[in-house]
Amino acid sequence: MKHTAPNTHVVALINYFTLLPLVYFIPDLIAPFIGANKLIHVAVVLAVIVPIISYLVMPIAVKMLTRKTAQ
Protein backbone atom coordinates (compact mmCIF):
# COMPACT_ATOMS: atom_id res chain seq x y z
CA MET A 1 0.00 0.00 0.00
CA LYS A 2 1.11 3.49 -0.76
CA HIS A 3 0.43 6.40 1.59
CA THR A 4 -0.11 9.90 0.27
CA ALA A 5 1.06 12.83 2.34
CA PRO A 6 -1.60 15.16 3.69
CA ASN A 7 -2.04 18.55 2.09
CA THR A 8 0.39 21.06 3.62
CA HIS A 9 -2.27 23.78 3.73
CA VAL A 10 -4.66 21.55 5.65
CA VAL A 11 -1.93 20.69 8.16
CA ALA A 12 -1.19 24.40 8.58
CA LEU A 13 -4.88 25.12 9.23
CA ILE A 14 -5.05 22.34 11.80
CA ASN A 15 -2.00 23.81 13.51
CA TYR A 16 -3.52 27.27 13.50
CA PHE A 17 -6.91 26.26 14.87
CA THR A 18 -5.33 24.03 17.51
CA LEU A 19 -2.76 26.58 18.64
CA LEU A 20 -5.27 29.41 18.87
CA PRO A 21 -7.12 28.20 21.99
CA LEU A 22 -3.96 26.74 23.53
CA VAL A 23 -2.09 30.03 23.27
CA TYR A 24 -5.14 31.93 24.50
CA PHE A 25 -6.02 29.84 27.56
CA ILE A 26 -2.89 28.06 28.81
CA PRO A 27 -0.91 31.17 29.83
CA ASP A 28 -3.77 32.33 32.04
CA LEU A 29 -4.16 28.86 33.56
CA ILE A 30 -0.46 28.58 34.38
CA ALA A 31 0.07 32.16 35.59
CA PRO A 32 -1.07 31.60 39.21
CA PHE A 33 1.51 28.82 39.67
CA ILE A 34 4.48 30.75 38.28
CA GLY A 35 6.09 33.91 39.56
CA ALA A 36 6.29 37.23 37.78
CA ASN A 37 9.33 36.25 35.69
CA LYS A 38 8.15 36.58 32.08
CA LEU A 39 10.89 34.34 30.64
CA ILE A 40 10.01 31.44 32.94
CA HIS A 41 6.31 31.96 32.21
CA VAL A 42 6.87 31.77 28.44
CA ALA A 43 9.22 28.78 28.79
CA VAL A 44 6.68 26.82 30.85
CA VAL A 45 3.81 27.68 28.51
CA LEU A 46 5.85 26.51 25.53
CA ALA A 47 6.83 23.35 27.43
CA VAL A 48 3.11 22.58 27.72
CA ILE A 49 1.91 23.63 24.26
CA VAL A 50 4.66 22.12 22.08
CA PRO A 51 4.20 18.51 23.29
CA ILE A 52 0.42 18.81 22.91
CA ILE A 53 0.84 19.83 19.29
CA SER A 54 3.78 17.54 18.49
CA TYR A 55 2.74 14.34 20.21
CA LEU A 56 -1.04 14.49 20.32
CA VAL A 57 -2.63 16.72 17.71
CA MET A 58 -0.37 16.34 14.68
CA PRO A 59 0.03 12.54 14.76
CA ILE A 60 -3.74 12.16 15.02
CA ALA A 61 -4.33 14.71 12.26
CA VAL A 62 -1.77 13.15 9.92
CA LYS A 63 -3.18 9.70 10.59
CA MET A 64 -6.69 10.90 9.75
CA LEU A 65 -5.55 12.81 6.66
CA THR A 66 -3.26 10.13 5.27
CA ARG A 67 -5.02 7.99 2.73
CA LYS A 68 -4.03 4.46 1.97
CA THR A 69 -4.01 3.75 -1.75
CA ALA A 70 -3.27 0.57 -3.62
CA GLN A 71 -0.15 0.53 -5.72
Q: What is the pLDDT of residues 6-26, one digit of tens each?
A: 899 999 999 999 999 999 999
3: pLDDT confidence band, cut at 50, 70 and 90? Answer: confident
Provide the residue count of the chain: 71
Q: Are 69 and 2 in contact (CB under 8 A)?
A: yes
Query: Quick check: 67 pLDDT over 80?
Result: no
The whole-chain average pLDDT of the chain stands at 91
Is pLDDT larger for residue 51 or for residue 65?
A: 51
